[in-house]
Chains A and B, each alone.
Chain A
Amino acid sequence: MSTMLGLLQAIPYEALLIQTLNGIVTGMILALIASGLTLIFGIMDVVNFAHGELFMFGAYMGVVVISATGSFWLALVLATLIVALIGAALQITTLRPLLGRDPLTTILATFGISLVMQNYALWQFGPVARKIPEPFSGQFTLFYLEYPWYRVLIAVLSAAIIGGFYLFLKYGTYGIWIRATTQDRVMAEAMGIPVSWVHTAVFGIGAGMAAASGVLFGPLVGVNHAMGLDWVLKAFIVVVVGGMGNLGGSIVASIFISLLEAYASIWVSPAQAVIVSFVVLILTLLFRPTGLFATPK
């Protein structure tokens, strides 16, 4: 009895709460990146290795627009739009000609794009990390911490973007086109849906969402040319755990894995906590290789 009590008392409740909040914030950012990734995979069977670089480009676009205009919000909107257009252009020039080929060719193509984008960013902006200032600096007291409101806002904004996108998919005409194309490309085409443009649009939307998360997350870390790597790796884990191509699954998996990592970092260093996501990935691949939330196609 007394050992039970001792165990219960040993749980750091305050740290748990703080880490829950942290986990949700990173989870939402991750969800924003992973939604685009899973959607692109679901609709055209393309594993987009350049997704992290679209995230990184978004952050840099944010840096550029903020230094020109001083407005974080304008930066968020412009970076999203510009990177969405870049994504659409990349799809038309690089992926559209490969449609129907071996998936390996698209993996190589997107990997190539990612190298080009990384090195372009290095050449253009140099190796020193840039900062995106927080759009406001309010804080609230959470136990022994001053917790920035901006972090809460990140979670809310990411959720709003994902929610808006969900409504668009569910009710919008183009949303129905996207879902129909995901399920049956050939029949969608026979119903008059311009499938190749749907592919381009989805790639653009995915790129835009990655860019938005880049700008939103910029203030928490430095912006540099390699920042996409960590995130894309995590986003891939989440997409696999959530079930390749399953939007809802990726979102749940993003929050699930981010929470686990956040809790783990109470006891081990954050760098070691990353191991948790790999453990989840391996367990998923072993026991539910189609993903935790896979729906039968």
Chain B
Amino acid sequence: MTPDATPIEPLVAVEDVHTYYGKSHILHGVSLHVDSGEVVGLLGRNGVGKSTTLKTIMGLVHPHRGKVLFAGKPITSLPAHKLARLGIGYVPEDRRIFRLLTVMENLRTGLDRHGMTEARKQELLEKAFSYFPVLAERRNQAGGTLSGGEQQMLAIARAMMLEPKIILLDEPTEGLMPRMVSQIRQIIDVLHREGVAILLVEQNVPLTLEASQRVYIMEKGAVRHHCPASALKIGDPLIQQYLGV
């Protein structure tokens, strides 16, 4: 499959999106798509609009122009809480743990929703605790007392409570020790095997190229390049040009 052959109905499609913060024009017509169960990397230097792209998909900022589609349906003007219920999980850059809530309560923000049975809740919790045993140990501890790596795990586990079809992961390895980085890397693989799609924003280029099937490279608020991850190598001139590494 060539990367440009968009399937008929991708899970998430962003079409020519223009997003502003006040008067500053951040996204200048971003288009990308993520298919069901696919891991897609979004690379680019700081400040090129990667995080804003995720926020636009999540409905946390609304674009002035352009469309966001989820399973073929327009979601551009829906509020974020409805998107979460549709199956979009969001793990923000700064993790945004509810610091005064315990680990368990953090998870319950996603777990206690309409139509969930006790058994199903228990199942989801056990799954999350099996991936992140440290969270089970600290379940009654306030989120703010966790280490950076533990908070990252909690942020991912919390998003998993929504049983999402896609998780928007914003710089999950930023500031983490190498051991934690490889753990996050494993979790991405596990989620992928379970059929959860991931849109991964990362500064860690080798990790992104390893974990993703396709990558988009952004510059100045627009997608400049799009290819299968296997087509790029660390020393590639494209990477040099857009990422300076």
User: Is B one of A's binding partners?
Assistant: yes
CB of B228 to closest CB in A, whole Å: 30
Task: Please state if A189 and B105 are interface contacts (CB–CB under 8 Å).
Answer: no
CB of B97 to closest CB in A, whole Å: 8
Task: Please state if B85 and A184 are interface contacts (CB–CB under 8 Å).
Answer: no
Q: Which of A179, A180, A186, A194 contacts B60 (CB 8 A)?
A: A186
Interface centre among A176, A179, A194 (most CB of B within 10 A): A176
User: What are 12 A-B pairs with beta-carbon distances under 8 A?
Assistant: A177-B112, A179-B98, A179-B100, A179-B105, A184-B96, A184-B98, A186-B60, A186-B80, A187-B98, A189-B84, A192-B81, A192-B113
Assess whether A11 is interfacial by the CB under 8 Å rule: no
- Residues 160-201 of A, flagged 1 when their CB comes within 8 A of B and 0 if not, give 000000000000010011011001101111111111000000
When distances are taken between beta carbons in the complex, the residues of chain A under 8 Å from B109 are 176-177, 180, 188, 191-193
Question: DSSP class of A's interface residues: helix, strand, loop or mixed?
Answer: helix
Q: Which of B80, B101, B158 contacts A176 (CB 8 A)?
A: B101
Task: Please state if A189 and B81 are interface contacts (CB–CB under 8 Å).
Answer: yes
Q: How far is the CA of A192 from the CA of B79 in the complex (A)?
A: 9
When distances are taken between beta carbons in the complex, the residues of chain A under 8 Å from B98 are 179-180, 183-184, 187-188
Interface centre among B84, B98, B110, B162 (most CB of A within 10 A): B98
CB of B185 to closest CB in A, whole Å: 24
When distances are taken between beta carbons in the complex, the residues of chain B under 8 Å from A193 are 81, 109
Q: How far is the CA of A189 from the CA of B81 in the complex (A)?
A: 5
Q: State the interface size on chain A (CB cutoff 8 A).
A: 18
Assess whether B44 is interfacial by the CB under 8 Å rule: no
66-85 of chain A: CB within 8 A of chain B: none
When distances are taken between beta carbons in the complex, the residues of chain A under 8 Å from B139 are none
Q: How far is the CA of A187 from the CA of B159 in the complex (A)?
A: 11
Q: How far is the CA of A80 from the CA of B162 in the complex (A)?
A: 35
Assess whether B41 is interfacial by the CB under 8 Å rule: no
Q: Which of B85, B96, B110, B112 contacts A186 (CB 8 A)?
A: B96
118-152 of chain B: CB within 8 A of chain A: none
Q: How far is the CA of A295 from the CA of B100 in the complex (A)?
A: 10
When distances are taken between beta carbons in the complex, the residues of chain A under 8 Å from B99 are 183
Q: How far is the CA of A193 from the CA of B80 in the complex (A)?
A: 9
Q: How far is the CA of A189 from the CA of B92 in the complex (A)?
A: 13
Q: How far is the CA of A183 from the CA of B58 in the complex (A)?
A: 19
Assess whether B70 is interfacial by the CB under 8 Å rule: no
Task: Please state if B162 and A192 are interface contacts (CB–CB under 8 Å).
Answer: yes
Task: Please state if B101 and A190 are interface contacts (CB–CB under 8 Å).
Answer: no
CB of B245 to closest CB in A, whole Å: 30
Task: Please state if A189 and B101 are interface contacts (CB–CB under 8 Å).
Answer: no
When distances are taken between beta carbons in the complex, the residues of chain B under 8 Å from A183 are 98-101
Assess whether B216 is interfacial by the CB under 8 Å rule: no
- Residues 89-105 of B, flagged 1 when their CB comes within 8 A of A and 0 if not, give 01010001011110001
Q: How far is the CA of A186 from the CA of B162 in the complex (A)?
A: 16
Q: How far is the CA of A179 from the CA of B50 in the complex (A)?
A: 30
Interface centre among B81, B110, B158 (most CB of A within 10 A): B81
Asked if A191 meets B110 with Cβ closer than 8 Å, knowing A180-B98, A183-B98, the reply is yes
Assess whether B220 is interfacial by the CB under 8 Å rule: no
109-155 of chain A: CB within 8 A of chain B: none
Q: How far is the CA of A184 from the CA of B113 in the complex (A)?
A: 19
Asked if A192 meets B84 with Cβ closer than 8 Å, knowing A176-B101, A179-B101, A180-B109, the reply is yes
Task: Please state if B96 and A192 are interface contacts (CB–CB under 8 Å).
Answer: no
Assess whether B108 is interfacial by the CB under 8 Å rule: yes
Q: Which of A180, A186, A192, A295 contacts B101 (CB 8 A)?
A: A180
User: Beyond A177-B112, A183-B101, A191-B84: 7 further Cβ-contacts under 8 Å?
Assistant: A173-B108, A186-B80, A188-B109, A189-B84, A191-B109, A192-B81, A195-B81
Look across to chain A and name the residue whose beta carbon is closest to the beta carbon of B95. Answer: A187
The 8 closest A-B pairs by CB, nearest first: A192-B84, A173-B112, A187-B96, A189-B80, A190-B90, A191-B109, A180-B109, A183-B98
21-45 of chain A: CB within 8 A of chain B: none
